Structure 1
Amino acid sequence: MTCALLFPGQGEQRPGMLHDLSDHPAVGQTLDEISEALGEDVRRLDTAEALRSNASTQLALFSASAASFRALSALGVRPDHVAGHSIGAFSAAVACGALTLGDAARAVRVRGTAMERAYPSGYGMGVVLGLPEPEVAGIAEAVGTPDDPLYPTNVNAPLQVAVSGTDRAVDRALALALARGATKAVRLAVSVPAHCPLMSGPEAELAAHMAKVEMARPATPFAGNVGGRTLRTADAVRDDLIRSIARPVRWHEATSVLRERGVDLFVQVLPGDSLARLAAAAFPESRVACLQANSLERVSELVDWTRRRSENA
């Protein structure tokens, strides 16, 4: 019976999210360290205007999740596994010791800037609920064209699958999904076509940057985005961080593997609660919590209780 920390991706951002973080000293120290590494005050990136930028959004999300992890760590929380959805994988890499905070922040800036520069407008993502992956793939094939490409991407749950492409193609796919029985089909708050072949250029830019970054063997198993498996070497984590930019996030597979490995408590760090809700739906026999609805101290108590229970089992 162990604990996994979950680090959220895009879609969880909201104005003011960095200013609403806990006043724990570790939070301020983390935001200061990130600001120093970037040469700019990261606290300026959570305004409504700043969050219109894909690059700023990724940095703000990374900063919020890294700061909340550092605060939990200061209270003695030591996860047994970590998993990050999309951009959340970079804060997960910090949490497991594979990347330093500064190196991760600089990599996130390269990633977000490259994605935004490649597709400044006219592209995005949507999500379909209630249809399985093969059916969503068929919809993407039916509506996509050379001028309006569309791809099935992230598999967040067996019946929650994302699509990426031009705005026109995404809108057509969502309408067709509803016509074919989807319970919900909506646009995501993502302004680029992430996790599909359209991201091959940004992937190459990120790979060139990451080739110069020193990484360490993760001290805690890291659940990868691309293969949906736990990774235990520096090279494997580096490869996953690079490749996931242009490939689907196999989130349900990754968290299912964590459950099979004995994870009994899933905790989502800030911001948001979408990953906690996915875990609660997929693994009703597990305990699930998120910092959005619990204090740092309460989450620390839950993790400690889970560990004691495991030791006494």
Structure 2
Amino acid sequence: MNKIAFLFPGQGTQYEGMLDDLPQTTLTSSLLERAQNRLGHDPLLLDDKEHINTSVGTQLSLFIKGVVLEAHLEEEKIYPHVVAGHSIGSFAAAVAAKVLSFEDGLHIVKKRAELMDNVGGEDYGMGVIVGVNKEKLVHIVASVHSETTPVYIANENAEDQYTVSGKRIGIEVVLEKARKQGASKAKFLNMTVPSHCPLMNDVGKTLFGELEKCTISDPAVPFIGNKRARPLQTGSAVKEDLAFNVSHPVLWHNCSTIMKELGVKLFVEMAPGHVLVDLIKRKYPEGHFFPLSSFSLDDVLFLVKKYKSK
């Protein structure tokens, strides 16, 4: 039987009204009611024009959408053998793995977003670089980084795709140097938060303290951690990864390798977007990829049932 991975995307895939196309079912209504009770307001307001580009609106919308879609797959007896999320996506993955309750996840995700906003501002941000290998990028970043221009390699998404994080003044120089050294893309991301770098160390420490107050269970299926790109089998290991992935690079390229080594052949990515399956497909073209942003829920249910027994 082919193994199935459930994937949960990170920030950058959000859009206004992204919660409007959730399945119109009793299960959706129940989960949205639980979210309203925990948050104290209608969760469907999170993705409106006013809120979707805030950290709180974006991160909670992604979390809620991922949990709701995954719950519908489980309702149809489609269960993952492995779960993985990119950055904020890790929290929905933790709910899917039965590590964290939906309610605790809502609290932690909101807290995470608020703490991140306290670090960020117009002087900070992130950039993406494509077409430069890691060795070359390490050299570029080292030549720019200083106390006044802190800049770090953040996420390692593919062999030739990285993000950098820190002060915009430093990132701008890194992007320019990368272009001169052959990068096919080097541009700022639409973010004012320096995620996945040491500037977020205090956020990680505070989040760990908040997670200590939550009920944490051992994962029902392997949870692929962001920090070390390893399958985590204990609740304490997942808790540590959830808290500190904000201050460490997401090693998504290595996560993809681990999933392949675990025998995963079916990849279901929760909406919105299809970034994660696109990255995996580049190195694992023989897999089967079903992003819920491109397929209907019914189509994914049919295709997964068709391929999982082959």
What TM-score comes out, normalization by structure 2 length?
Answer: 0.96
| TM-fit CA distance, 1:29 | 2.3
The answer for the alignment partner of 1:9 in structure 2 is: 10
Q: What is the rounded CA distance, in whole Å, between the counterparts of 2:292 and 2:245 in structure 1?
A: 26
> Is the Cα contact below 8 Å between 2:164 and 2:171 reproduced in 1?
yes
Q: What is the rounded CA distance, in whole Å, between the counterparts of 1:262 and 1:290 in structure 2?
A: 19
Q: What is the rounded CA distance, in whole Å, between the counterparts of 1:82 and 1:165 in structure 2?
A: 29
| Residues 1:46 and 2:40 are matched in the alignment | no
Q: Which ranges of structure 1 fall in alignment gaps of 5 or more residues? A: none
Q: Which secondary structure does the structure 2 equivalent of 1:163 belong to?
A: strand
Q: What is the rounded CA distance, in whole Å, between the counterparts of 2:192 and 2:27 in structure 1?
A: 31
Judge which range, 184-193 or 95-104, deviates more: 184-193
| TM-fit CA distance, 1:68 | 1.3
The answer for the alignment partner of 1:174 in structure 2 is: 175
> Is the Cα contact below 8 Å between 1:5 and 1:81 reproduced in 2?
yes
- Equivalent position amino acid for 1:294 in 2: F
| Residues 1:252 and 2:253 are matched in the alignment | yes
- Equivalent position amino acid for 1:81 in 2: V
> Is the Cα contact below 8 Å between 1:76 and 1:300 reproduced in 2?
no
What is the CA deviation profile of residues 35-66 of structure 1, one whole-angstrom value per residue up to 9, with x for unaligned ones? 21122222111123212311221111111111
What is the CA deviation profile of residues 116-144 of structure 1, one whole-angstrom value per residue up to 9, with x for unaligned ones? 01223321111111111222222222222
| Residues 1:152 and 2:162 are matched in the alignment | no
Q: Which secondary structure does the structure 1 equivalent of 2:156 belong to?
A: strand
Q: What is the rounded CA distance, in whole Å, between the counterparts of 2:110 and 2:80 in structure 1?
A: 26
The answer for the alignment partner of 2:193 in structure 1 is: 192
Judge which range, 241-250 or 138-147, deviates more: 138-147
> Is the Cα contact below 8 Å between 2:205 and 2:244 reproduced in 1?
no
Equivalent residues in 2 for 1:60-139, closer than 5 Å: 60-139=61-140
What is the RMSD computed on CA atoms of the aligned residues? Answer: 1.3
- Equivalent position amino acid for 2:230 in 1: R
Q: Which secondary structure does the structure 2 equivalent of 1:60 belong to?
A: helix
Equivalent residues in 2 for 1:30-45, closer than 5 Å: 30-45=31-46
- Equivalent position amino acid for 1:229 in 2: R
Judge which range, 48-57 or 227-236, deviates more: 48-57
| TM-fit CA distance, 1:171 | 2.0
Q: Which ranges of structure 2 fall in alignment gaps of 5 or more residues? A: none
Q: What is the rounded CA distance, in whole Å, between the counterparts of 1:119 and 1:219 in structure 2?
A: 35
The answer for the alignment partner of 2:59 in structure 1 is: 58
| TM-fit CA distance, 1:168 | 1.9
The answer for the alignment partner of 1:241 in structure 2 is: 242
What is the CA deviation profile of residues 82-103 of structure 1, one whole-angstrom value per residue up to 9, with x for unaligned ones? 0000000000000010000000
| TM-fit CA distance, 1:34 | 1.7
What TM-score comes out, normalization by structure 1 length?
Answer: 0.95
Q: What is the rounded CA distance, in whole Å, between the counterparts of 1:189 and 1:300 in structure 2?
A: 34
The answer for the alignment partner of 1:279 in structure 2 is: 280
> Is the Cα contact below 8 Å between 1:225 and 1:254 reproduced in 2?
yes
Q: Which secondary structure does the structure 1 equivalent of 2:6 belong to?
A: strand
What is the CA deviation profile of residues 140-184 of structure 1, one whole-angstrom value per residue up to 9, with x for unaligned ones? 222222112100011011111110011222222112111110111
How many aligned positions are there?
309
The answer for the alignment partner of 2:214 in structure 1 is: 213
> Is the Cα contact below 8 Å between 1:86 and 1:249 reproduced in 2?
yes
Judge which range, 60-69 or 18-27, deviates more: 18-27
| TM-fit CA distance, 1:305 | 2.1
Q: What is the rounded CA distance, in whole Å, between the counterparts of 2:79 and 2:160 in structure 1?
A: 32
| Residues 1:23 and 2:18 are matched in the alignment | no
| Residues 1:232 and 2:233 are matched in the alignment | yes
- Equivalent position amino acid for 2:52 in 1: L
Q: What is the rounded CA distance, in whole Å, between the counterparts of 1:213 and 1:121 in structure 2?
A: 33
> Is the Cα contact below 8 Å between 2:266 and 2:308 reproduced in 1?
no
- Equivalent position amino acid for 1:213 in 2: C
- Equivalent position amino acid for 2:201 in 1: S
